[in-house]
Each structure stands twice: as structure tokens, then as C-alpha cells.
Structure 1
Amino acid sequence: MLENKEYVLCGGTFFTLLLQARKQRTAARKNAVGEKDGLNDSEVLEGLIRVAFPDYISPAGRSIRTHTSSYKACRLSANEYLPFDKEELIHTFDREIKETFFSPLQRMCQFSLSFIDEKNMGRWLVRAILDTISRDSSITDEIFYIDQNGHPMDKKHLLTAQNIELQPFLLGIWHFILSNRADNTVGAATIDSWHDRPTVKRAKRKFNSEVGKNWGNSVSVHIIQVDEPVSGEHKDSIRPRKVLVDKRSSDFDLDWASRRSMRSPKDEYRAYLKNTREKYNKLKTLLYNDAPVEFYNFYICNNIEQRIYIKKNSYRRKIIENSTAQLLHECSNFILISGTGGLGKSMMMRHLLLDSIEHFDEFGKIPIFIPLKDYSDSYDSLLDYIFEKFEGLGGSKKLNDLSKLLSHGSCLLLFDGLDEIKSDCRKKFEHDLEFFADKYTDNMFVISSRPAGAFISLHRFTVLNLCPFTKEQALSLIDKLDFRPDEPAIKANFRNELDNTLFRTHMEFTENPLLLTIMLMTYEQFAEIPSKMHIFYREAYITLSQKHDASKGAYKRVLKTGLTADRFADYFAEFCARSYRDEKFEFTDLLFDQYFNSLHERTKELHNVTPSDFRDDLVENMCLMFYENGKYHFTHRSFQEYFCALYFSKQKDKNLKRIGDFFENKNRRHYSDKAFNMLYDMIPEKIEEYIFSPFLKSLFVMCDAKNGYWTFLEELYPVLYYESGETSLWIRNEANSFIYNAIIRIQDIAATLDFDELPQEDEYLMDEWVYLDSDYKSPEFESGSLINKNAVPWEYKEYFGEPEVVGRYYEIDIEAILRNPEKHEDTIHLLESDDFPIRAEFLAVRAYMQELIDKEQAVGDDLFDLFQ
């Protein structure tokens, strides 16, 4: 039976199917009088070649017809006229598909429009290609890039797809063939099976195949139209207008249009948009401290990275350039932007806000900027907190008006600074956010945060990573900054060094917009850049302390406090340490005064230093803080972290153990927090002797007294988290100890678990993930979305049945398996084997502890033997 036949997908078989879906040819008698239809086999093949190789030039003469026939029959793979063996061309095409996708998609849309009967034959063509792929046993783990965003799919997911867009699909198949099917002759048997043998010599073979006609899987095929980009900056912006090929298209379009109309906000919110733009379009920065400047006069947009699942433990890295809320919306309605300090998260959020205001008529969502540093558990609900921000800029005087907008899905909610919420309020916020998102799911949610140990509690959010600056972006920022126009050589020399050496040798600084700006300022003072982070901040402080005198000639302004720069640093270091301990990042006048009046450093001064003078010096002279909306803020949190580390580094040795305990008890601090790292760099030997060594001795004494390695697991890794397949989780197994995590990070001995090695047994299974059918319409879920199986509505199951599980989340509870070791014998054997990553980490940490003990032993009687 035909259904059991083996098919092969290659250039010839693909081209043959395209020809069967070709537009209707012109009558032969019209051809005879010179009216060419432009649809002969050679012209179609040349058009297909230009999709991949746009500079292809058609050969002169009639020889192309012979080559076309041979290629279609799978007798020819490539030659001088068919450049399918040109690796340079194929590599360029491959890079286009994986990095931009828009340009080749434009070309495929033009090809399809010119040659394919999209409306009548498009659905069969897709089904025929899928049928061919399903019967091609040589296709196993290869990847197809077949949707308009360039997302990849393996064979399994491709064959179960419910909605396919014709032109991106054809483009992805053509890319697959050129990348994976250099030998076109492998399809000869397939071509033979698709055609009747001619009964007359030299007669044309007739296509007579059931391919695609009996394809059992339901699939809807769409045609897209891709608008021309407005400018080069938006070359990756694809704005399709989908039209269903089948009869459901009219219902779909009417439903979509009615929803858009329902969500259109009233003109009364234009005033709110104007007020919001005026508030956020200008700001002061480190360089522009005297007066606020236009945001886009100095802003360079970071790239954003999306990790896209391909197959088990395999992901593709997609880079989103020139990000906008509309582009991020293509990834998900729920976005979490993760980035380290100073990378530009708040700037990105401000950019998304301003851009959505600029393109409000196009995007149609009212942006609400919600700084989370102001959030506390005193608010009854998250809605009340959002309303406070909305009302403050003239959005509405009634909470009910905001509720209506949210109910219609008319808002873009920009939550800036998840990591700035106090740890004791974080749980309430996440609970409130979950409830809020369930109720108002049609809105777009964007959250920014420093990287956290896990975002499991925000399971519906797609995590996107804010990328460090590229070299080109770093240079562009320097070009934009208005720095010392009276001495242009300073910036020019710095830019030259940045271009030639600095970007490579100091990437920790040059990839970070804030640190790069400080680098430029420091370069003016020292004409070199230090390699250690704490030295960099020390020199940055010296630069900032002298910044206000740069153009004053011989006149030296005295600080209002009357303090020297060194003494001022002592005050500020204690201020930062105290506020860091309490997780305070902004201050009213009253709170600032309370912290200042508690400083021990004040008792060492002969003259009185007032809080107001100290504040003025911080803001006006030192530029270490700024004043906004009635509160004082650190110019950047990293300054608080550096000065906190500086203060701790100057304490007596006997107090270092207590300092270590402070960090240990603040176990929820993010690993991107640099305070402890800088403290270690300042006094590494003391940290090892007074913090690391006592900690490890205590840990291993406890382990050895109990159950050794298993006590270690129970204390530090009581639960192992892992996943299989596709989930929306971002999992990292971190130890239950800040100090321990610092040790394994500094010593570079942290274990990395390979999920493939862990048992995928039902007894460890906690959650499963499924895809909803793309035809399922619900206000709670996006069409075709990946969700937790427990969240699948009962009415979905009634109509579509149980969805297929595509991902699983597991937990191994150490205490639980030790209670019943006979039942978990294989798992226990795996975890205690010496090559298991955490077991290897355990042994490496024990060896490191012994190194520390050996260091502490006196090596001789000579006085200088003590000074190692």
C-alpha cells in the first residue's frame, strides 16, 4: 500500500511538489504567439534558487531546461548552473535564517505569490510535504526553522503542528534541504513512485500519487503577507496579516477585529500618555547630573536573548535586536527580563514604556510603569498599588476605570525591579501577582529583575536575558555621550583604546553601560583601567569626588561637610553597610537622617557634620546619590555594595566571623550581588581564615558525626530539581548556604547536573507541561501556549481530550529516599557514585578545607615564616 512506502525529502522531491501546487499555466496557443506565463519549470526553479541566493544570475541559452529536468528527476545534485554545492552561499543563507529570518522570508513570500496557487493548493502542498517527512526515516534529530519568528522544531513537533504558515514553512523546508540534503539523487526512488511510467516513448511522465491526500493529522494552513520594514533598524520586524486558507478564516478575522475594537482605549487616556512621556523622557545620569537630558540622546538598546527549546537539553539562542514591547509580545504575553546590576534593565523598561507611547496607535495598549522599589505589604492588593501609579499621572480617579481597562486586556504592565522588593515582602508580591495575572491575563506583563536562584514561582513568565553590550554598542554609547567637549581628545583616546584593546581585556566593565560610563570618567583621571572590580570602584570614587572641580581651574570647592574625600568615604561606607543590612535602597529625608545619626564615624569628628550637608554633598558634589520624587536613591546599587564591602573590610579580624554569619543569614541574596565578592577580593586571606575555614570545619564535623555525604546532601541540597522535555521553568540547583555557594563559585568547583543522568521515574514526578491546541480560544490562555497540565480547564478536555505531555518536572527529596532506601536503591547508588557531580563537588570542597587548614599551620620558628 502507498501508505507504507518510504519517501525521501530532497531538492528534487520538494521541487516536484512545488510544481504540482503551481499556479495555472497559460494555454499553449497563447505561448505559441509569444505570451509567456513565466511559470515554466526552469523559471520556478530559478525563483526558488533566488530565495536562498538572491544574487543568482540565470544562465544564458536553453541549457537550464535540461539541468532543471535532471534536478527534478533527482539525477543531478549540483553543477555550475545549480549552485547547491557552494558552501559559502549556503552558510550565508543559514546565517540569515538563524539570525534575521525576515529578509529570506520576504523573498519566499514573493516566490510563493509569483508561482504557487496559495489559496487552492497551499493546504495540500503543506500536507504533502509533511507526509513525505513522516515517511523519511533518514530524518531523525535534524531541525526545521518553519515559522515566521525563525523558531526551530524537530520532526516530532513538526508532524504534530496544528497551525502552519505557508511561506515560513516552505522557507524552512528549503533551508533544511540545502543544509542537509547535498545528495539530491537519494530521492530518485520517491520520484519514480510518484509518477506513472509513460506508455509512449519520450512522453512526459504524469504525476499520480496520493501523497498528502490521506495525511491524517489535522492542520490549518495560513497565508501571510509581510509588510516592508519602515527602516533598517526594524529589519527584523514581521507584521503578518494572517488569512486562513479554509472556511474558518472569516470567523477568525471577525473575532479578532471585535476584540481589538473592544480593547481600544478612550481618548481621555491621551493626557495620561502625555504626562507619562514627560515624566520619563528626561532624566539625570552620572554624566548629566546638573540637569535632566532627553533619554534617547544617550540611550543604546541592549540586545535580548531568548532560550528556545529544540529538544531534550538542547536550546537555540535567539537574539532580539532593537527590542520593543510589540517584538517581545511575539515571544509571550508574560515576560521576565533578567540582567545583572548596571546592565540597563531599568533603562530597557523605560525604553519599552516610551516606545509603546510613541507607537500607541499601532500597539493599542496603555503602558503603566510600576517601580517595585516602592512596593510593600501595606497595600491590600496589587491592583491598589498599580492604581496608585496610574492615578498619579492622570490615568483615572476611579479604581473601577482601571479595572475595566485591565478586564479588556488594554494594558502593558511594566514592573521594574523585582529584586528591589524587600525579601520579607517578596512572597506576598508573587502571590498577589499570580492572582492578578489569572484575573487579567489578556494584558501584557513585563518584569525586570536581577538574576535570582530560580523563577519557578513565576512559572507562566518567559525568561529573557538582557545581553551585555557588544563592542559596537559600547562604541556607540561612547559616541553618544557628551563628555568633556572642551577636551575632545580624552574621549577620542578612550574610544580608540576601547576599540583596540579595552573591550577585550576589561569585558566585565566594557559590556556594562554604567561601568563603561564610569570607565570613561576614570580614564580621564588615571589614563588606565584597573582589572579588579573593587579597585575600579575605588578609582571611580576618586574620579567622582573630583568631578565637580574639573573645570574650576585653581579654585577648589570645599565639601559642605568640611570632610576630606577619604573621611567622606568612611562616612558613606558605614551608611551603605547599615542600609545594605536592612535592604534599604532609597531614603526619605527622615529615614536618611535616622541612618546618618546612627553612624559611629560621627563620633570620631571634631566638628559637627549635619545630615543635610552630607546629603547635599552626596547629590551635588559626589554624584553618588540623586534626589527624585521626594526620595534619595543610589546612583546605582553597585555603589552601595562596594562601600558596604569597604566598610566590612576595615573591621577587626575577630568580627569577620559575624560578618560571614550576616551574609549566611541573608541566604536569599542574589548571586549577582557583588558585595561579598568585592569583600573577598579586598581581603582574601582573612575571608578564608575567618569565614571560609570555620564554616567548612563546622560543616564537615557535623557531616562526619552523622551520615557523611548524605548529611551533606540533606543540609545543602535537600531537594534536587530537574526537568525533562519542554517546561516553562528555569531551574538551578543552589546549595542552601550563601557562604558555601560563594566558596564553590570562587574556587570554580560548583557541580553542574546533567538532567539526562537523573531518574525520570513517576515517583519523583511533580508536574507536567502540555501544549494547548491552537484552535482552543480562551481569555485565560494564549492559543497554542505551553502550560502546566494541572491548569488545563475541564472544558478543554471535554472538547479536545487529554493533551499530550511534552515536559516533566521532577524533585528528589533526599530525606524521603533515605527513609525507604530499598525502594530507591538505584537512585541512591547514582547519587553516591564518585562521578556524580554533587558527590565530586563534595570531595573537592573537603580537599579545599584541608588546604585552608594546612595554611593555618606555622611552618617554622623564624619570625618571617609567620608572614606568608
Structure 2
Amino acid sequence: MDEGKFVADFIAKNIENIWNIANSTYGKLNEEIKLKLKTAYSEYLKKTEQKYSKSKSFFIRDRSVDLYSYYIPVGLASNGDRVKLDTPSFSDCLNQSHHFVISGLGGSGKSVLMRHLFLDCIKQNSYVPVLIELRDINAEGIALPKLIDSILDTYGFKLSGEFIERAKKEGHFSFFLDGFDEVDHTQRKQLIKDITAIIRKYNKCPVFISTRPEDTFNGIDELLILNTMPLDKAKAIALVEKLPFDESTKSKFVENLKSGLFEQHSSFLSNPLLLSIMLLTYGENAEIPSKLSIFYNQAYEALFQRHDANKGGYKRNRLTSLDIQDFSRIFSLFSLQTYEKRIFKMPRTDCLKYIEKSKELLKIEFNAEDYLNDLLSAACLLIEDGLEISYSHRSFQEYFVALHILASPPELQEKLVNRYWKNSLSDNVVNLLIEMNSELVERVLIVPKLTDLFEKIGVKNSVGITHTAKYIKIAYDKINIENNSISASWSGFNSNISQLVGFAISLSGIINKIDIKKHKEFIERITSKYGENGEKIEYETKTLTYRSPLLKELFESDSFLSGRYLSSAYQGYKILKNKHSNHTKSIEDLLGI
């Protein structure tokens, strides 16, 4: 992007609006004020374009590279595919709404897409884009409006608060709020209030929010929720071809993708991050694992032992002499400490502080500076970006947290699982634990919590409509009906009992067979009967009883709000409870004596 041209184009297109806002702020405009305004816009746009057009990637950590050297468009779609954007642009999005949530799993490309939309916003010349990494709220401890003003000031938009306030009201800005799921749970309630206030007070300003899947935003009517779409085979191949890796390995990998590998492992290979990691491990492992935990273990081993595929097989020497297990133990404890504080990015001094604490607790001798340099340059689990250090991807933090929990003493395992299970909607720690040791999660979490649930709703032998009504009220605040879809939400920011109900069904091996035709007819009937011309209708669960017509229909359905679903969970719970009540075995049983 030509710096001089895009700034000149923006000012030329918006000059009348800028002068109008300035007139109402400063009164009569003179040449000094005009120069100050032009300087502020020019400085801000140049600096932010320079910052967000380049970044480090999973494959390139030692320098920032052009975003579009590895960018592949990630599609967006609403529930029910009413809105579908295969190659989203800023203008495409605004044709649908002015306020968005971009929801997607870890590694699905949300942050890269947000940067693309930010840069595309600059090209469109209609709004001044402001990108906020919401995790900064954790460290800074300041409210979102002040953080926005701080970002504007930091990048050169040094104009009076009155001018900026008037510009916001005139719809002069577009706000890109990246990583809601990375904000500490204790801060989220205030953040939601701040976001809602911005949307309503400055309703002419577009707002984009990225997050892992959350129920939180279902209750904000102004927001259109779009989900990131998995990569199709063509996009997956295009991404692989862009990655800086050994050409012969890439060529072989692409051929295998074309000849059936993609369809066989689409759950992994349709995710940009996991696809990238798979390329890294491709030469080491002939098979793609069926479990995410094994996948990350292979990735760690490949990173720890990796040769640089772009430098003729040059092996990256490590400064520490730690073996692969001790290196992992230290990083696991480091990850637990940062995860506890919801820290994903930190100054180097803080990073060293957590490493030193891990060293002290584990009683392993090494030099903290050397270890940090190994994390950055050899193992590449962290990346350095300016003055701060962050995880190469947040999912590595989650994997190593799960590893630490598994290696902990039993009494500590129970405390940690119960401390973190409510994060399972926004991260993968509990899901990884289930993969690696499902019996631990069943024993210390699922069975005790579901014992409390079924006692509370009064289930003794079988599930009836009154039990289902009570469960729905406990698990959800609202039932939402729109666009031939039914969802349920609750006002909390953490996972709730509904997650554990789902775990009980899946872990016990109970199969819920759904009649697709019948379920489709049910959805159409419910949305026609209780919806309103495609608009979202919310039913507060506290108003529903077992006599309510809507609840009766839900109870008799095949949905996650049905009596059949809750009954399956109860049967699953009994299977798991019985399994663990008979868990204690003598050494003779274990050894087959």
C-alpha cells in the first residue's frame, strides 16, 4: 500500500467531514488547526498501517513479514447460513450489519482476519480504524473507552478529547476489538457494558469483535454473530503453498491433500493453525493423529528437535542442556502461572519472573535467560514482538497447562480441574484433559457435579418434563428462536452445567440418534410458531413451566433442550458413577494374578 497515496486519498475523501467536526469543536478554523488535523490523520494512518500490515507468524518468528504473504481468506457465516461471506471484505461486512461478532475456534484465523479487515477499512477511506487487543485490559486494568483513546494517542492521533468525542458520534471511526475470550473473567462484565455502550452511543461507528465461541453476545440485539468457516481443500492447499517451508516437503504434502488426505482428516486440516503445524510434523510422522493432545505432543517434539527447513537442515542449538522432558515440565508450570492470570503476552521481565518461579518450584538448575532464549529461538514456543513476548499460539499454553495438571499429585489435580473447568467454552484445557485422562475428569468433576444437579432437580429413576423444566432454568437464562434455528444462552461468562451434561453423554458412550427429517420439521414448526418473521425472539427461561406450550414441544423434541437429551445424560451419569464406584482394584486384579 502506497503510504503517501492512501493517506492523501483518505484526507481528500473525508476533508469536509473533518472540517465540520473541527468547526463545531474549535470554532473558526485557521491554518494552524488545519495543519494539526492533517498531521494527526496522516501520522495515525501511516503508523497503524505499518504496524498491522506486518506481523510474525507461526513459521516466521525472527522478523515481521507482510500479512498478505501468508493470508488466506477465512469465510464467515451466520447460524443457518443466512449470511455467508467466502472472502470477507470490510464493505461486504458493512452490507450486512455495522456491528459484528466474529466467532471461531482457536487457530481458525480470527486475529489475522481482523487485521485484514482493519487494512481493508483503510483502503475504503470511509472510517478511521482502531484495533484494540482486548487482552491488554488484563495488564492495564483500564476501561475500554480509555484504552481506545490511549491507542489513538499512541499512534499519533493527538487531537482534543472533544474533537474525538464528536468524531465518534459522527461515525468517524471503526473499532476492531480482538480477542474477547482472552480477557480475564473478572473483567468481562464491565467490558460487555463498555462494548454495549459504545455500540449504542456511537451507533454510526462499525464495531467488530473477535472471540472463541461464547454465549455472552447472544443477548445483544445489535450484534450479528458470524462464525469462521473451516478451510476447504482449495484454501488449505493455497495456505500450504504460501508457507515458508521446504519445497519438496510442501509438494508432497499438497499431493497427499489432493489425493484424499484432506477429506480423511478435515477436522485438523481445515484449521489454519493445525494445518500449519501438520506441515511442520509431516516429515516426522507418517500418520496424522486422531487426538488433538497427540497432535500437540508431536508438534512439541518436532519444535524441540527441529531443523530449520529453510536453511538446509541447520539445527538450532539450544543454550540450556535440559532434556525434552524437563524442558516440558518447566514450560508446563510457566504456562499454568500465566494461564491463571489470563496472560498471553507479557514484557520480557515478567516472562523471566515466571521462569524463575518455575525453576524454584521444580528445583531444576538452569539459567532463566538461556531458557527464555531457547523458548524463542530453538523450541519456538514463544515469539518476541517488539518489547513483549507472547505464545506462538495460545493453544500451546492450554496444552501445557493440561500436561501440568496430569503430572500433579491427586489432591492438586482435583483442585485445578475444579478451578478451570468453567473455562471450557473459551479454551481447550478440559477437552485436552479428557483426551489424555478421561477418568480423572469423570471422577473429580463430572460425577460429583452431576450428582448435585440430579439431586437438585429431583431425578430418582427417570427424567420427566418437570425435571427438564428445572434443568433448563438452571442451565440457561434465555431460549432464542431465529432464522430456523434454536439456541440457548445464559448471562454468565464461563461454561456451566450444560457442558458437563454433554460430557456425560459423550464419555459414557451413549449414542443419541436423531431423526434428521423429524428434527428439521420440528425446527421449522417451532420457528414458525414461536418466532417472528426471521427476527430473533427471546424467551426467558424463568417464565417457563412444565405447562408452557413451548417447553412441552422442546421436551418432546430431539434437541439439546429435550427430555430425551437430559435422560441420556442421566443414563450416562449412572454409567460413569458405577464405573468409578468399582474403580478401586487390588494389585492382584491389576496384575492379573
- Per the normalisation by structure 2, the TM-score is 0.81
1:481–1:759 Cα change, 3 Å: closer
Quote the Cα distance in structure 1 between the aligned partners of 2:141 and 2:443: 45
What is the match of residue 155 of structure 2? 393
8 Å CA contact 2:213–2:426 kept in 1: the answer is: yes
Task: Please state how far the C-alpha of 1:860 moved relative to its aligned partner.
Answer: 9.7
8 Å CA contact 2:486–2:523 kept in 1: the answer is: no
Equivalent residue for 1:452, pick from 198, 214, 223: 214
What is the match of residue 154 of structure 1? none
Quote the Cα distance in structure 2 between the aligned partners of 1:736 and 1:859: 27
Equivalent residue for 2:43, pick from 260, 268, 271: 271
Deviations 1:213-237 (A, max 9, x none): xxxxxxxxxxxxxxxxxxxxxxxxx
Task: Please state how far the C-alpha of 1:624 moved relative to its aligned partner.
Answer: 0.8
Task: Please state how far the C-alpha of 1:826 moved relative to its aligned partner.
Answer: 6.2
Quote the Cα distance in structure 2 between the aligned partners of 1:571 and 1:858: 32
1:742 aligns with 2:466: no
1:691 aligns with 2:416: no
Task: Please state how far the C-alpha of 1:431 moved relative to its aligned partner.
Answer: 0.8
Q: Which runs of 5+ in 2 are unaligned?
A: 1-13, 23-33
Quote the Cα distance in structure 2 between the aligned partners of 1:401 and 1:751: 60
Letter in 2 for 1:599: S
Quote the Cα distance in structure 2 between the aligned partners of 1:861 and 1:637: 41
Deviations 1:142-187 (A, max 9, x none): xxxxxxxxxxxxxxxxxxxxxxxxxxxxxxxxxxxxxxxxxxxxxx
Deviations 1:636-680 (A, max 9, x none): 11101111111112233444432332234xx2x252521111111
Task: Please state how far the C-alpha of 1:623 moved relative to its aligned partner.
Answer: 1.1
Quote the Cα distance in structure 2 between the aligned partners of 1:658 and 1:549: 41
What is the match of residue 289 of structure 1? 61
1:863 aligns with 2:588: yes
What is the match of residue 581 of structure 1? 340
What is the match of residue 383 of structure 2? 626
Equivalent residue for 2:187, pick from 425, 439, 446: 425
Letter in 1 for 2:47: N
Task: Please state how far the C-alpha of 1:470 moved relative to its aligned partner.
Answer: 1.0
Task: Please state how far the C-alpha of 1:261 moved relative to its aligned partner.
Answer: 9.2
Task: Please state how far the C-alpha of 1:410 moved relative to its aligned partner.
Answer: 1.6
8 Å CA contact 1:263–1:410 kept in 2: the answer is: no
Quote the Cα distance in structure 2 between the aligned partners of 1:426 and 1:661: 20
What is the match of residue 812 of structure 1? 541
Deviations 1:558-613 (A, max 9, x none): 522331222111110111123223322222234324433332775432x3x23322
What is the match of residue 225 of structure 2? 463
Task: Please state how far the C-alpha of 1:693 moved relative to its aligned partner.
Answer: 3.1
What is the match of residue 399 of structure 2? 642
Task: Please state how far the C-alpha of 1:466 moved relative to its aligned partner.
Answer: 1.3
Q: How does 1:245-264 map to 2 (within 5 A)?
A: none
8 Å CA contact 1:344–1:513 kept in 2: the answer is: yes
What secondary structure does 1:448 align onto?
Answer: strand
Identity of aligned residues (%): 27
Task: Please state how far the C-alpha of 1:462 moved relative to its aligned partner.
Answer: 0.7
What secondary structure does 1:342 align onto?
Answer: coil
What is the match of residue 336 of structure 1? 101
Q: How does 1:514-529 map to 2 (within 5 A)?
A: 514-529=273-288
Quote the Cα distance in structure 2 between the aligned partners of 1:829 and 1:475: 48
1:533 aligns with 2:292: yes
Letter in 1 for 2:106: G
1:319 aligns with 2:84: yes
Equivalent residue for 2:114, pick from 322, 328, 349: 349
8 Å CA contact 2:99–2:222 kept in 1: the answer is: yes
What is the match of residue 207 of structure 1? none
8 Å CA contact 1:717–1:736 kept in 2: the answer is: no
Quote the Cα distance in structure 2 between the aligned partners of 1:402 and 1:518: 43
What is the match of residue 370 of structure 2? 613
Quote the Cα distance in structure 2 between the aligned partners of 1:647 and 1:274: 44
Task: Please state how far the C-alpha of 1:514 moved relative to its aligned partner.
Answer: 1.1
Task: Please state how far the C-alpha of 1:737 moved relative to its aligned partner.
Answer: 5.5
Quote the Cα distance in structure 1 between the aligned partners of 2:440 and 2:172: 56
Q: Which has the higher helix share?
A: 2
**Highest relative contact order (Cα 8 Å, sep 6+), 1 or 2?**
2
Quote the Cα distance in structure 2 between the aligned partners of 1:835 and 1:464: 25
1:629–1:731 Cα change, 3 Å: farther
Quote the Cα distance in structure 1 between the aligned partners of 2:472 and 2:124: 49
Task: Please state how far the C-alpha of 1:691 moved relative to its aligned partner.
Answer: 3.4
Equivalent residue for 1:721, pick from 478, 484, 493: 478
Deviations 1:311-335 (A, max 9, x none): xxxx444431321111100001111
Letter in 1 for 2:406: S
What is the match of residue 3 of structure 2? none
8 Å CA contact 1:574–1:647 kept in 2: the answer is: yes
Deviations 1:797-820 (A, max 9, x none): xxxxxxxxx653212327x84xxx
Q: Which runs of 5+ in 1 are unaligned?
A: 1-255, 308-314, 771-785, 787-805
8 Å CA contact 1:570–1:601 kept in 2: the answer is: no
Quote the Cα distance in structure 1 between the aligned partners of 2:542 and 2:523: 16
1:853–1:349 Cα change, 3 Å: closer
What is the match of residue 358 of structure 2? 599
Equivalent residue for 2:303, pick from 521, 544, 563: 544
What secondary structure does 1:848 align onto?
Answer: helix
Q: What count of residue pairs does the alignment treat as equivalent?
A: 550
Equivalent residue for 1:443, pick from 194, 205, 210: 205
Letter in 1 for 2:227: N
1:479 aligns with 2:235: no
1:297–1:554 Cα change, 3 Å: closer
8 Å CA contact 1:735–1:741 kept in 2: the answer is: no
- Report which of the two structures shows the higher radius of gyration computed on alpha carbons: 1
Task: Please state how far the C-alpha of 1:451 moved relative to its aligned partner.
Answer: 0.9
1:862–1:632 Cα change, 3 Å: closer
Q: CA RMSD in A?
A: 3.9
1:452–1:811 Cα change, 3 Å: same
Q: How does 1:793-804 map to 2 (within 5 A)?
A: none
Quote the Cα distance in structure 2 between the aligned partners of 1:345 and 1:600: 34
Quote the Cα distance in structure 2 between the aligned partners of 1:273 and 1:357: 8
Task: Please state how far the C-alpha of 1:270 moved relative to its aligned partner.
Answer: 2.6
Deviations 1:514-560 (A, max 9, x none): 11111111012234322211111001011111235668889865522
8 Å CA contact 1:723–1:755 kept in 2: the answer is: no
What is the match of residue 136 of structure 2? 374
8 Å CA contact 1:596–1:611 kept in 2: the answer is: yes
8 Å CA contact 1:727–1:808 kept in 2: the answer is: no
8 Å CA contact 1:365–1:412 kept in 2: the answer is: yes
Quote the Cα distance in structure 2 between the aligned partners of 1:401 and 1:350: 26
Q: How does 1:237-248 map to 2 (within 5 A)?
A: none
What is the match of residue 31 of structure 2? none
Equivalent residue for 1:680, pick from 431, 434, 442: 434
Quote the Cα distance in structure 1 between the aligned partners of 2:209 and 2:385: 22
Letter in 1 for 2:261: L
1:838–1:289 Cα change, 3 Å: same
What secondary structure does 2:283 align onto?
Answer: helix
1:494 aligns with 2:253: yes
Letter in 2 for 1:743: A
1:745–1:813 Cα change, 3 Å: farther
Deviation larger for 632-641 or 280-289: 280-289
